[in-house]
Each structure stands twice: as structure tokens, then as C-alpha cells.
Structure 1
């Protein structure tokens, strides 16, 4: 910005100098030439006043002393030089002055003024005053040099003033830019300082207010997440302890129900942990989910969801034929994602639902397929809050995909007929040194939603 301000100021000064200097240079030249011609005219008139009409009969002529650089001479009607200095024979201005007119002209590199001398209505001679054109031209060049020096001085002052003003204007903007970079790097306490420029202060004030509002919103969300963590964990733990205590009672009629309730509370507890881990709750520690074998994970998933699909007269089929037995994934997040996809298929899909695990060497692909088709446009199915004309909150698939991204994986709609969602997750083999991560591109269309 500083360079831009300086360029604008210098350009404006240059335009002003050009518009002023050119007419002024022309005026200097015209004025100096006119002054020299006037000086010659005065000298010639002074000489003509001192010439006696009897000079033709031999009376001596005393012309006034000319100024430095000038010549003054008296010519008779025969164009002969009779007194003073000048060419021996009168030139064209002298010849024209014999017609009783004052003549001004330029000839032979000289400025010439010729004044006629009259007696008894007859021209009896001509006084010629002259000076070198080069002398006048030298004075013109000196005047132009002085003008150029003044212009350069004005330009220098303009550059200095422009640079100072540029610093005054750019400093608060640079400070605002540094403040924005600090905010980008995570410092939400940074605030732009006031300056001497009202408009920039207004921008900084608005920016500070916006940042304050955003900071308050973020802290409220973090506090809500921490509060939800505390308030949900406590009753869930109490409910789980109560159900486990009920299992210790010797009542075979309630044991199956209590075991199912305990399993449901454990799953709910795991869901809360995964949601809080994804949200990154402030001040709440969440360890990484333990690894589980893929086959075991699919068996638990089928056991959990088989009865619900059977109640609807539908079939659930889970298979992992080509997946090695030692393939491990993070059980908690993957189970939550599969739960969201199966609930989505149960609510919005139809027919048999198949969960198929495929080994991709460096990753694991989990396909969830039903016999329906998406009710929403493929381009909008991954928009948070879009329900596609059905029921639901429009959050489930968005949450599932966020969980997949937090694992370093990817969730996307692989096919629309039949509906197939594919989950790609990193896989680790039991005994290996680390997880082979999935190299996937970001999904288009933003967060997901139910069909």
C-alpha cells in the first residue's frame, strides 16, 4: 500500500508540474526576448534623439554608449554606417526603416531594432540597435534550468511527504493484518489497536467486535460440550451400575432384559465419548478408541441390528470374507459410523441391507448397501440439515462423516442405485509397527445428511 500511495502522489505532482512548467517555460522565453527587444528599442530611440540633422554635412555625431552585449550605429539614407558599430552596409531592418517606420527583426544571428530619424518630413538617417541572439538564448536556458530545479525540488518534497503519509496510512493497516494473522494462528485474544485514521479505526473496531462475538460463541460451545460431558457421564454411570447390580440378583426372568439394557447403556456411553472426542471438548481428556478386529466388529454390529431389521421384516447380512483376521480398526468410531449408516438404511431404505468389508491392502472399505434409492439429489445428500423430504434431523450422516475424517478416513455415497455408502478407514495389522493410512481427497459438497 505504501508504494501505491507514493505512486499516486508522485503521479499527481508530475501532472501538476508538467501542466504548470510548460506554459511557464514558454512565458520565460517570450518574456526574455521581449525584454531584449524593448531594451534595443530604448537604446535606438535614445540614439536617434541625439543625432543632429547636420551630421550629413560633417557635423560629428555622439551616440550614447550601448549596454553590454549591444551595438548601436547610425546609417544614412544610402545605407552607409556613419557612426557607432554595426555592419558597414545597412541590412533589411535599416532599409525598411527608411520608410519612416520603426522596424524589429532578427537577421544574421542578431536581434535588430531600427528607428528612423526625420527632418522636414524626410528620413535623413536610421539608428540601428542590435544584440546577439545567442546571449538571449543563454538567458532563456538559464531560466529554464532554474525552473527545472524548482520542479525537481517540488518533486522531492512531494515524494518525502507522500512517503510520510504512506507510512501513516499503511501502519494501522499493517497492524490490522498482523492482528488477523495472529487470529488465524489461534490467538483469539489479539485485538487491533486504534490509529489516527478514522476509517481504518472503524474497520478495526468492527473487526474487534466480530472477533469478540466469535470468541464468546466458541467459549459457550466449549463450555456446553464440557457440561454435557459431565452431566451425561454421571447419570449414565449410575444407570449402568444399577443395571449391573440388578444382574447380580437371581431372577432369570429379568436377566436377559437387564443384560440388553446394560449393553445399550455401554453403547450410549461410547456414543457420548465419541461425540465429545469429535467435538474436542475444552478441558475434557478423551483417549483414542481401542483397536478391534474387523470380524468381531461386524459380528457385534449384526447382533445389535439384526433384531431391529427383523421386526421390520427385513434382512441384515454382514460379511468380511477377504479381510485378514489380524486386521484392526478403531472400534468405537467405526461402530458409531456403521450404526448411523444402518439406522439411515432402516429408516430411509428398503429390502435387504448388506454390510461388506473389503481389504484394500493399505485400507479397509466397508460398504453398506440396501435396495432403495436416495430421495435427495446426490449433489445435496452431503449437506448438513438437508433431510431429503423425509424424517430425521439431518445430522446423522454428517456426524458419521466427521467421525470418518477424524480417523483419517472417508465416507461417501458410492452408488445411488442401489444405495451404497462406502467407508474407507486406516487399517493396522496385529503385530505391525503402525497404521497404514488412507490417502483420500476431501469430499465435495460439505458435510453429509440423511437421505
Structure 2
């Protein structure tokens, strides 16, 4: 591209120089020749005046008296009636510029100049025009190289940006080049890079959220399956009943797992899409306690529930269960002692508090425990962040009310009821 720009620019300059140069040479040649003719005529008129003045004054017209009056390398012939012809200067060849002038006493002055002097002047003018033309071409070449670099370098840079986008590097470069058309292309590429970056971030976030949200129900499901395996080989009717109960709970967990996957896919398409409904909060809390009892029993710990019952909240039951499961799992992994779930009412909201007897949240972290990748116990740092996102998606919120002992609270909208005692 650079070569084409340089070649096209030089071609235009050469055409312009050729057209104007030839025209200028023709005009200057004619001007120089006409100027030489006018000079010869002026010289003849001047010499006639000089000769006439001498004749009137009675002076002689001889080569000696007239030699100092002739200017330049010209041939002059003075003819006076009754006197010898006076010739001054060397007589040129046939190719001359000639002018004759007659005076009032019959004298005639003829002035001749070699045309070679005119051709020499034309040659000097031609050399000057040629030098100017070469200088113009050289300047045009320099400007063409600079202009081609100015145009080609941004195009190369834009091509590299597009290649980076295609190779998976969506960082915008925010470079502008002072050319409106190229800057427009750069704006479009930067906007595309931003969109691609947001899409990749959303995809990575979806994968991280999916892996974390699926891990908790899978852990609970695996514990239920272990319970089933442990009691499946006995003929005791009570054990058989336990197996049936555990299998039912495991099936419910599979259904909840399916709901989690569906919710993740829905949120990946439209994060604002929600399915908040009124539901019985006691059922969700009871379900979570039943699911996590085996794990706490295996760890030699207990999980209990207290507070107000019969509460109905507004939200997505599956999402609320996932938030509570995250808090209960965190208490199991990072806490100690008994884990307590307490339900209460504040204003037009219902609150589920989860607390344990462990060391609590590191004072250096505080509310930053809800930020992604922030963790004080070598975990992924996604659990609480995802739980808060789930709570906010249903119009609620998840907060850390107390660092030691740790108290996490899930706030949900309270379903309106016509019962005055509610």
C-alpha cells in the first residue's frame, strides 16, 4: 500500500510538473526573445539620436568617436549620406536579431545581435526551471513517503488490533491517529473489544458460579447417597424406611440441582430475569437442616433452628435454598460448634440469620468477604459472592451483621397477608 501511495503521488506531481514546466519554458523562451528584440530596437533608436546630435554639432561620426556609445557585444552599422560607413563590433553570422532606425539627416543605424545569446539565456532559464522541478519532485517524494507512513502505519496498527481480537485478547487499545475515517474504525474496534471483554467475563463468571453452585448440592447429594449405601444392605424395616427417606431426600436434591442449572442458564441469558414468588420459608429452612444434618453429625457438630415460624417470603425458593446452603457449608468448613438458623421479622422483611461458635470473620476482611476471590481460609472466594448475587437477584440482600461470633443475615421481602396477626 505504501508503494502505491508513493507511486500515485509522484505520478500526479510529475504530470503537474511536466505540464506547467513545458508551458513555462515556452512562455519564457518567447519572453526572452521578445525582450532581446525590444532591446535591439531600443539600442538602434538611442544610437540614431547620438549620431544626429553629433551631426548637428558638426562633430565627426567615426569608429573612434562612436566606440564608447555601443553597449554589449553587438554589431552596429552607421550609414551617413556622403560619408564612409561606420561599423562597430564584430559582424555576426546570418542567425541574428536585427533592428534599423533612420534619422532626420538621412543617417541610418542598424543594430544586430547574435541569436546565440538569446539561446544561452533560454538555456539558463531552462536549467533553473529544471532545478525547481527536480526540487519539487524531491519534496513530493519526501511528503509522499511521510503521508504513506501516516496512512499505512495506522492501518497496520488497526489490523494488529483486529488480529488480537480474533486471537482472544479483547483489551481495547484506545489509540487515535488524527484521521477521522481511521479514528472511526478504531472506535468501532474498541467498542467491539469492550463487548467481547464483557461477554468473556460473563462466560467466565457463569462457569465459576456454576461450578461453585453445583458443588454444594452435589456434596449434599453424595452424603445422602452414602447414607443410602450404609443402610441398603440390612433387612431391618426401620433401616429400609431410612433408605426410602434418604432416597426421597436425594431425589429432592437432584431436582434442586436441576433447578440450579436451569437458573444459571437463565441468568446467563438475562441476569435480570427472575421468578420471585411467595413461598413458605419454614419449608426451605427445614429442608436445608435435614440435608446438612448427616454432615454435621459426621463432624460431631449440631445444626439447630430457632426464631419465628410460619413466615412467608418473596423470592425464588431454589435460590434461597442455595444461599442458605452456602452459609451452612461455610459454617461447617470454617466455623465450629453448633450452627444456628434463626428466623425473625423486621419491618416488611423476613430475616434468616446463620451463626456458629467459630473464630468468626477475619477483622481485616470485614464486608470484603462478599467480594469475588476474597477468602481468608484458602477457599475459592466465590461462595459468598455468588450467594449475595442470588439474594439481590430476588430483591433481597445478604449481609454480615457481626464478625465474632459470625452472624450472616439473609433479608427477603415479606409476602403481604390479610391476617392481622401475621
Tell me the TM-score normalised to structure 1 length.
0.44
Tell me the TM-score normalised to structure 2 length.
0.47
